[in-house]
């Protein structure tokens, strides 16, 4: 039976939300409500479940939200994406299970966030996973809910273009790195994935499903939270739409896990955010916090496309590895993921073989702006990607590295001349005009001390100035990790669960 009042209400059943719902409902005495905007299909449809459907599912799935974003270079539009279904991003993402680096977490700690250094977070990272390749390693876990495995191990047989790519990268000075999840990864790395026997291990599968039977865990799907009713420093009610009706729930504690694009929106619609912005839209300011929606960061991806050799067999497979490249050798870990991409084919044309570089850091900070008070309207994104000259320079360095790697006699059998950009084009400008995203938007409810005017939550993830409101998702990251962001977000969920259990 649904209680009158919950101990904890979790808004958003994504990577962090499902983790928290499962952990907090371990105590049968704690009544937990999970509100998720998307559906909670059971059984999970093949389009989500089967790892092999990932690329196609991104193209076809009804569970995707696309956020138009204007490139700074030429004003053209591309799209950020999030998942709107139980599991959130973990139900639609590419399933790379990559840890934050030591330098990422140590930096978070150094920004005034005690408890978040790499060494202090390592126990959380370990308890998340069952690492099928390194169960006995002191830095890996062997009995956590999330199954992690490297589908390709360096030395495994690989199709010739991939084998040649790896060999050439090594000849250019990159070391072999058997585990991308070491604290300072660099080189030719095997990449871990949360895929078990071909099945996506979303947080729905890894965390929520085993907890579903608990009578104290209440799950409401297709429930869109529109605002929080706030009195003083407390959230009194969570207001949501379900079946076209406005409903509400009250809870002792409220945890916002709606992701980097929606958590700031819910805060602002509830009167927590930059005062001038809220006033402009006629929203009653409950708690002026300048940082809500600010500090946005993402990873920019650029591709270079080469002609594929027509005489090479078209069915070659790219194994799951990536180059972790440093655009500056003095960096503590790689700042690019470089990957071979599958060919594009059009009848009558040479195959097109892209190689992409994702800059896994961002120096400039973007922001999300509330456009109206309509909770269904998407926030406007000003992502500031490739605005900083050092980011642009780094991208040009990575592009030159790719060019030098591919345009070498040892690669001639597979890669032909460059198609796009042209060798005479301005590559930096080209990157600014055509880049995409690695889909790792974060930072819009930044964690930091009260002395930092941009901080939204403190190091216990409680919203500054609020008594019973926490944010725990990708939005709290002070800086984007040098890694794909899902595992870090799950780690944030694990940390919040501990903090609330202790509180």
Partner 1 sequence: MLFEGKIPVHAEPSAVWKLLLDINEFADCVPGVSNVVKIDDSTFDGTIAASVGPISGEFAFRAHIIESDPPRAMAAHVDGTDSVTKSSMTAEMAMTLARLGANETELTYHATVDIRGRLALIGDMVLMATAKLIIQEFTKRLRRKVEVVPAPG
Ligand X SMILES: Cc1cc2nc3c(=O)[nH]c(=O)nc-3n(C[C@H](O)[C@H](O)[C@H](O)COP(=O)(O)OP(=O)(O)OC[C@H]3O[C@@H](n4cnc5c(N)ncnc54)[C@H](O)[C@@H]3O)c2cc1C
**Chain contacts with partner 1 (rule: CB under 8 A):** 55-56, 58-60, 64, 66, 76-79, 81, 301-305, 341-350, 352, 354, 419-420, 434-436
Residue with tokens 């706030």: 230
For residue 352 the two structure tokens come to: 């097109």
Residue 100 or 319: which CB sits closer to partner 1?
319
Nearest distance, CB of residue 419 and ligand X, angstroms: 25
- Is 94 a binding residue for ligand X by CB under 6 A? The answer is yes
- The secondary structure of residue 89, as a DSSP letter, is G
In whole angstroms, how close is the CB of 146 to ligand X at the nearest point? 11
Residue tagged 């409220």 (tokens): 254
What's the rounded Cα separation, in Å, for the pair 224 and 211? Answer: 22
Which lies closer to partner 1 via its Cβ, residue 108 or residue 193?
193
Is 81 among the residues that bind ligand X (CB under 6 A)?
yes
- With CB cut-offs between 5 and 8 Å by kind, which of partner 1, ligand X, none does residue 420 bind? partner 1
Q: Which does 489 bind (CB under 5 to 8 A by kind): partner 1, ligand X, none?
A: ligand X
Tell me: does residue 22 bind ligand X (CB under 6 A). Answer: no
Partner residues linked to 316 by β-bridges: none
List CB contacts of 364: < 8 A, sequence separation 6 or more.
384, 385, 387, 388, 391
Nearest distance from C-beta of residue 161 to partner 1, angstroms: 14
36 binds ligand X (CB under 6 A): yes
Closer residue to ligand X, CB minimum distance, 65 or 290: 65
Q: Which does 102 bind (CB under 5 to 8 A by kind): partner 1, ligand X, none?
A: none
Q: Which is nearer to ligand X, 327 or 484 (CB)?
A: 484
- DSSP assigned state of 296: B
List the single partner that 305 binds among ligand X, partner 1, none, CB under 5 to 8 Å by kind.
Answer: partner 1
Asked if 479 is part of the footprint of ligand X (rule: CB under 6 A), the reply reads no
Q: Which residues of 92-101 are buried (b: 16+ CB within 10 A; e: fewer)?
A: bbebbbbbbb
Return the range that interacts with ligand X (CB under 6 A); candidates 242-250, 252-260, 357-365, 424-432: 252-260
Judged by CB under 6 A, the number of residues near ligand X is 42
**What is the secondary structure of 178-212 as a DSSP string?**
S-TTSSS--EEEE--B-EETTEE--HIIIIIHHHT
CB of 425 to ligand X, least distance (A): 28
With CB under 5 to 8 Å by kind, the binding choice for 11 among partner 1, ligand X, none is ligand X
- Token pair of 432 as six digits: 């600014």
Q: Provide, rounded to whole angstroms, the least separation between the CB of residue 214 and ligand X.
A: 20
**E strand or H helix at 499, and its extent?**
helix 486-502
Q: Give the span between the Cα atoms of 203 and 201, in whole angstroms.
A: 7
If contact means CB under 5 to 8 A according to the sort of partner, which of ligand X, partner 1, none does residue 346 touch? partner 1
What is the C-alpha separation between 312 and 431, in angstroms, rounded? 29
Q: Which helix (H) or strand (E) holds 502?
A: helix 486-502
Distance of CA 23 to the CA centre of its chain: 21
Per-residue string for binding with ligand X, 426-445, x by CB under 6 A?
Answer: -------------xx-----
- Token readout for 171 is 């000849």
Beta carbon nearer to ligand X, 260 or 405: 260
Q: Is the peptide bond before 43 cis (omega within 30 degrees of 0)?
A: yes
Residue 251 interacts with ligand X (CB under 6 A): yes or no: no
Q: What are the structure tokens assigned to 301, written together?
A: 């991806």
- Which class for 227: exposed (0-12), middle (13-18), buried (19 or more C-beta within 10 A)? buried
Distance CA 132, CA 97 (A): 12
437: Cα separation from own chain's centroid: 11
The pair of structure tokens assigned to 279 is 């006033």
Kindly tell me which residue out of 25, 31, 93, 270 binds ligand X, with binding defined by CB under 6 A: 93
Select from 245-253, 306-314, 455-463, 484-492 the region that touches ligand X (CB under 6 A).
484-492
Residue 249 interacting with ligand X (CB under 6 A): no
Q: Does 11 bind ligand X (CB under 6 A)?
A: yes
Instruction: Return the H-helix or E-strand segment holding 224.
Output: strand 223-231
Question: CB–CB of 418/304 below 8 Å?
Answer: yes
Residue 283 touches which member of partner 1, ligand X, none, C-beta under 5-8 Å by kind: none
In the block, tokens 């709107």 appear at 84
187 binds, among ligand X, partner 1, none (CB under 5 to 8 A by kind): none
Structure tokens at 373: 């008070």
Q: Is 458 in the site for ligand X (CB under 6 A)?
A: no
Contact 88, 14 (CB under 8 A): yes
Choices 93-101, 183-191, 351-359, 394-402 (CB under 6 A): range interacting with ligand X: 93-101
Nearer to partner 1, 78 or 331 (CB): 78
CA–CA–CA angle 94, 257, 488 (5° rounding): 45
Applying CB under 6 A, which of residues 44, 177, 266, 480 lies at the interface with ligand X?
266
The size of the chain, in residues, is 503
Among 489, 491, 494, 500, binds ligand X (CB under 6 A): 489
Q: In angstroms, give the least distance from the CB of 390 to partner 1.
A: 22
Minimum distance from residue 352 beta carbon to partner 1 (Å): 5
CB of 81 to ligand X, least distance (A): 4
Interface residues with ligand X (CB under 6 A) are: 11-17, 35-38, 58, 81-84, 88-90, 92-96, 98, 224-225, 257-260, 262, 266, 439-440, 473-474, 484-487, 489
């Amino acid at each position: 039976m649904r209680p009158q009042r919950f101990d904890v209400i979790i808004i958003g059943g994504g990577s962090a939300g499902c983790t928290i719902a499962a952990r907090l409902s371990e105590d049968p005495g704690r009544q937990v409500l999970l509100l998720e905007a998307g559906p909670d299909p059971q059984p999970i449809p093949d389009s989500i479940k089967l790892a092999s459907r990932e690329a196609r599912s991104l193209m076809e799935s009804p569970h995707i939200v696309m956020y138009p974003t204007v490139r700074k270079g030429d004003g053209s539009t591309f799209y950020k994406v999030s998942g709107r279904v139980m599991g959130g991003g973990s139900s639609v993402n590419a399933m790379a299970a990559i840890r934050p680096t030591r330098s990422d977490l140590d930096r978070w700690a150094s920004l005034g966030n005690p408890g978040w250094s790499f060494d202090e977070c390592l126990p959380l990272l370990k308890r998340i996973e069952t690492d099928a390749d390194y169960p006995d390693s002191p830095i890996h876990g062997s009995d956590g809910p999330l199954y992690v495995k490297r589908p390709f191990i360096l030395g495994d047989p690989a199709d010739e273009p991939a084998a040649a790519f790896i060999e050439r990268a090594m000849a250019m000075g990159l070391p072999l790195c058997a585990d991308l999840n070491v604290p300072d990864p660099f080189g030719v790395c095997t990449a871990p994935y949360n895929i078990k026997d071909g099945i996506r291990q979303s947080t729905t599968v890894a965390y929520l499903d085993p907890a579903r039977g608990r009578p104290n865990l209440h799950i409401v799907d297709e429930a869109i939270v529109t605002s929080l009713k706030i009195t003083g420093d407390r959230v009194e009610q969570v207001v949501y739409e379900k079946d076209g009706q406005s409903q509400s729930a009250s809870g002792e504690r409220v945890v916002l896990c709606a992701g980097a694009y929606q958590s700031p929106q819910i805060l602002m619609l509830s009167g927590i955010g930059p005062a001038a912005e809220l006033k402009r839209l006629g929203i009653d300011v409950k708690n002026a916090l300048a940082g809500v929606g600010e500090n946005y960061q993402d990873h920019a991806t650029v591709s270079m496309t080469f002609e594929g050799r027509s005489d090479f067999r078209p069915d070659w497979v790219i194994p799951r590895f990536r180059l972790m490249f440093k655009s500056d050798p003095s960096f503590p870990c790689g700042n690019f993921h470089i990957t071979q991409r599958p060919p594009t084919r059009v009848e009558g044309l040479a195959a097109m073989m892209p190689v992409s570089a994702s800059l896994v850091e961002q120096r400039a900070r973007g922001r999300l702006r509330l456009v109206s008070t309509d909770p269904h309207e998407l926030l406007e994104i000003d992502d500031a990607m490739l605005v900083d000259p050092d980011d642009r320079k780094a991208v040009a360095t990575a592009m030159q590295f790719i060019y030098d790697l591919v345009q070498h006699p040892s690669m001639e059998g597979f890669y032909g001349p460059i198609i796009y950009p042209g060798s005479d084009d301005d590559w930096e400008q080209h990157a600014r005009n055509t880049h995409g995203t690695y889909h790792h938007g974060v930072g819009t409810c930044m964690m930091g001390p009260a002395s930092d005017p941009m901080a939204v939550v403190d190091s216990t993830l409680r919203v500054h100035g609020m008594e019973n409101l926490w944010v725990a998702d990708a939005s709290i990251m002070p800086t984007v990790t040098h890694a794909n962001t899902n595992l870090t977000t799950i780690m944030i969920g694990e940390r919040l669960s501990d903090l609330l259990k202790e509180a």
